[in-house]
Amino acid sequence: MAKRTEILSQILKGEKCFDPYLFCALHGAAMTVLGVENCAVLTHGPQGCAYLVDSAFAWQEADWIETETLCTKLCEDEIVHGGEELLARTILEAKELNIQALFVLTACGPEVVGDDIVAVCQDLQSRIPFKLIPIECAGYKGSQYDGIDIALDTILRKLSRNSRKKIPRSVCLIAPQANANPTWVGDLAWVKQTLSQMGIQVVATLTYKTALSDFDNISKAEASLLLSHDAGKKAADYLSSQLGVEQICQRMPLPIGMSNTERWVLELGKRFDVQGLAEKLVAEGERMVADTLRRKAWGVSGESLDLRLLYRMPVAIIADATIGIPLVRFIFEDLEMTPELICLRSSQPHAMETLETEVEALGLNPKIVYNTDVYEVRRSLDEIKPETVFGSNVERHAIEGLGIPLIFEVVNPMRQFRLVNRGYFGYGGILNLLELIENDFNDKWRSKERRYKARW
């Protein structure tokens, strides 16, 4: 309460602005439904809101020649009189599309004026050859993570069926897209590969290149594996309470870094009774990391990866919870740096509990900020004054003038252009992170200011 009062008084004094990291709920919902194959998305809103859908498009590696995105392009007339008629007309015009389902997403305007998209879809369903799935995800309902939860909840309630028959050693993967690694598909690929090596079948992924029929089978999964600390927990809870799909690997950080990966893989092995395989995977992975570093850490250009320079350096972690929480142990144990500030972009209760348990177990006492915005990050950086930041390109600018010499860009948005998916999960992920750290460490000598001085 005191904090709220303090924030309000700062706003009134003009001392605080909110500069959010995240998009709104519509973006999260779009990010989710675009992961379902052979479907189209119709945004019921003004045309600017459809831009959010377009930005979610690439996040799911969707393809313009396969996936249609439509928009009702609401104008003043529809805000005054309601846009149900226009929505109905647009759906009828889309009926020629060769798709299995049309996801209808709402922006803020139509929900504020009371458009009932569920009723419109129900009324039209008999005249449309594909499934109509309305999702009420107005931007004001929260962040993109809330949008993911809303979309998953709606889709599961509409499409999943309860099956008593379980597929032995099977899982469904939840919310891989709620991950600020700009090439999160690399993380998902590692998870799928690891599961496959352990003989565990993936029944469905919610969502990435998911077939609509996967939702029919979802209750046949023995367990669910949540791949995000930012979103998807509600879907996991729904699956366990309504469809008897057990949640596994709960209350532990995702597999980033040596210890986290070991713990996560061994937990999977224990649950599916393949401990031997799990131990073998861990041993092989650790050996691969050690061998690679021994052979390649001395680069061809003569630059070496010298982690001793980072030893006990005070660090700030500014990230989403999915990457940020596991980074704490990776940074502290593997890199031997000291996290002194942790700012997370969300505040899911289970994620907060996981982080606080981790921090306590490691004997750390960092300042923690949940649901952070850029203003709060800069203020906290100024207060804590770490020597290094693990963050994004936003923090590269936010640290200007604060005397913080190093920034490692690990989460979205980042300057690095990637075509190949690079995961942070698992043993390959450790090498990817070390590569990033080394490149950004060298990059510090290439500041704009230094180049300018060198030239003139």
Among 78-86, 96-104, 151-159, 231-239, which window interacts with other proteins (CB under 8 A)? 78-86
Tell me which of 11, 17, 92, 112 binds other proteins, using CB under 8 A. Answer: 112
CB distance 282 to 266 below 8 Å: yes
Our CA angle for 111, 160, 194, nearest 5°, is 110
Q: Which stretch binds other proteins (CB under 8 A): 110-118, 214-222, 258-266, 376-384?
A: 110-118
The amino acid present at 309, given as its one-letter code, is L
CB–CB of 106/113 below 8 Å? Answer: no
Q: Residue 439 corresponds to which amino acid?
A: N
Spatial separation of the C-alpha atoms in residues 148 and 259, rounded to whole Å: 29
Q: Which stretch binds other proteins (CB under 8 A): 38-46, 77-85, 154-162, 323-331?
A: 77-85
Stretch that binds other proteins, among 76-84, 307-315, 318-326, 367-375 (CB under 8 A): 76-84
**Cβ at position 151, least distance to other proteins in Å:** 25
Asked if residue 194 lies in contact with residue 426, where contact means CB atoms within 8 angstroms, the answer is yes
Nearer to other proteins, 72 or 348 (CB): 72
For residues 383, 389, 391, 396, the Cα torsion angle rounded to the nearest 10 degrees is: 80
- Of 113, 211, 252, 288, the one binding other proteins (CB under 8 A) is 113
Examine residue 93 and tell whether it contacts other proteins (CB under 8 A). no
Residue number, 113 or 211, with CB nearest to other proteins: 113
Exactly one of 6, 47, 81, 306 binds other proteins (CB under 8 A); that residue is: 81
Q: How far apart are CA 26 and CA 41, in angstroms?
A: 12
SS3 content of the chain, % helix, strand, coil (to 5): 50, 15, 35
**Residue 171 near residue 55 (C-beta atoms within 8 A):** no
CB–CB of 247/173 below 8 Å?
Answer: no
Q: Binding to other proteins by residue 12, rule CB under 8 A?
A: no
Q: How many Cα neighbours within 13 Å face the side chain of 93? A: 10
Closest to other proteins by CB, 79 vs 362, is 79
- Among positions 114, 302, 349, 363, the unique one binding other proteins when judged by CB under 8 A: 114
The least distance separating other proteins from the CB of residue 82, rounded to whole angstroms, comes to 4
Total residues contacting other proteins (rule CB under 8 A)? 12
**Residue 76 binds other proteins, judged by CB under 8 A:** yes
Q: Does 79 bind other proteins (CB under 8 A)?
A: yes
Tally the C-alpha atoms within 13 A of residue 87's C-alpha that lie toward its C-beta: 32
Q: Which of 37, 111, 115, 320 binds other proteins (CB under 8 A)?
A: 115
Contact residues: other proteins, CB under 8 A: 75-77, 79-82, 84, 112-115
